[in-house]
Amino acid sequence: MATIARIQPRALVRASGGPRYAVALAVDALGTGLLRPFLLLYGVTVLRLSGPVTGTAMTAGIVAGLVCMPAVGRWLDRGARSTVVAASMLVRVLGVALLLAAPAGHVWLFATAALFLGIGNQAWPAAHAALVATVAHGRERDTALAGARALRNAALGVGALLASVCLAGGTTALRALAAVTALAYLAAAALAWSVHVHAEPAETAPAEDRDDEPAPRMLALLCANVIYVFCLNVPEIALPLVLVTQLHASPVWSAVVFVANTALVVTLQVPVTVFMSRFPRRTVVVLSGVVLAASYLGFLVATSLGHDWGTPAMATVSVVCTIGEIIYAGSATALVTALAPAHVLGRALARFQLSTGFGLAVSPAVMTALAPLGPAALWGSLAAATLLSASAVATEKDQGTRPGVGACRAG
């Protein structure tokens, strides 16, 4: 049984990249929270584009961002760390600048802006995980990844709250929010770059052969991850859809579920990850799938209770779903960093982000297609697919564990 780590704030900040990097994460997330929930509104209200055109442009940006991931992985495997993180933030600065420059009705500038925003949003998770894996090791690395997620969720929530307050100002306020977002991304990029973290080349393989050695396939984990990440969109898409259209509940309930989800992630992500460090990472990933599947079945039962009891029951079960999300988020990326050899860590994380991005992209369409077919179709399908994914992860054989990362230099 592994030794359980203790939560030490200073050590956690150090393992996450240091104080400057922690501030960079917070500033970047604050900027993202200011704009991301209202990017669709910006296209519709400020640029006067139609809803379908705006949504298509945003989806194309996400897909294009995923296409760029192999290149990001190879860049990371050449030793870059803080430079890639800073680049992912600077790309989004360019995207926001194009938003501000786009005249009304100009769909191509909006689509290009969404493209750069999508590239930055997809590249950042892999780059961040690679940086943390370079400066922290073992279970300390897992806790650092969890701490960064908690910090990011808190800053995202604050940014979204500030943006909601500013929306009363109409199109002028939306443009101002975009400008503030660009400044936040720029400041975060400068802070992240100033950390100067770079991984030394691995000593276990010749430099000319290192780029040709493939990353671990982890096929079952990557395929399962596509299903697992559906849980991230349940509070934002599936639950509001069911609560409003099937249980005829007030939209306030959807807001309560979303706020509770954010609060639980912020407060419990690190403690739960530390507690679960007593178990093997693969076992924890499997457990998260079981908890998520149980919550989906709980939603199925809750919808059968009718409006009076069903609505509070759905809100209650959402807590179980969030716990499953927290367990999954604290173990999945950590498992990838533990399995991948140091010299192919970037490509392994890029593949993992590809599966995450694909799952996030298709889950809204899947959920909205299944919901009209009834609760059994929606929640039963999600529960079955998640259990099947957990079984696949449990039976997959590890190809070996990741050796210690080569020496790194941190300014």
Q: What local confidence, expressed as pLDDT, does residue 408 receive?
A: 42
Calculate Rg over the CA atoms of the chain.
21
Q: Which two structure tokens, joined as six digits, stand for 79?
A: 């030793």
Question: At residue 147, what are phi and psi to the nearest 5 degrees?
Answer: -65, -40
DSSP 269-323: HHHHHHHHTTS-HHHHHHHHHHHHHHHHHHHHHHHTTHHHHHHHHHHHHHHHHHH
Instruction: In whole angstroms, give the CA distance from residue 400 to residue 398.
Output: 5
| The CA-based dihedral angle spanning residues 137, 405, 265, 184, taken in that order and rounded to the nearest 10 degrees | 120
Phi/psi at 398 (5° precision): -70, 140
Question: Three-state SS across the chain?
Answer: CCCCCCCCHHHHHHHCCCHHHHHHHHHHHHHHHHHHHHHHHHHHHHCCCCHHHHHHHHHHHHHHHHHCHHHHHHHHHCCECHHHHHHHHHHHHHHHHHHHHCCCCCHHHHHHHHHHHHHHHHHHHHHHHHHHHHHCCHHHHHHHHHHHHHHHHHHHHHHHHHHHHHHHHHHHHHHHHHHHHHHHHHHHHHHHHHCCEEECCCCCCCHHHHCCCCCCCCHHHHHHHHHHCHHHHHHHHHHHHHHHHCCCCCHHHHHHHHHHHHHHHHHHHHHHHHHHCCCCHHHHHHHHHHHHHHHHHHHHHHHCCHHHHHHHHHHHHHHHHHHHHHHHHHHHHHHHHHHCCHHHHHHHHHHHHHHHHHHHHHHHHHHHHHHHHCHHHHHHHHHHHHHHHHHHHHHCCCCCCCCCCCCEEEC
Residue 367 tokens read as: 């959920």
CB 206 within 8 A of CB 52: no
Of 76, 65, 95, the closest CA to residue 185 belongs to 95
* Whole-number pLDDT of residue 35: 82
What the block records as the tokens of 275 is 């507690």
How many other CB atoms are found less than 10 A from the CB of residue 41?
A: 15
Quick check: 118 and 65 in contact, CB under 8 A?
yes
Residues of the chain with pLDDT under 50: 1-5, 203-205, 209, 211, 400-411
Regarding pTM above 0.85, the answer is: yes
Q: What is the pLDDT of residues 163-200, one digit of tens each?
A: 877 777 778 888 888 899 999 999 999 999 998 888 87
pLDDT in tens, 72-97: 999 999 988 999 999 999 999 999 99
How far apart CA 259 and CA 253 sit, in angstroms, is: 10
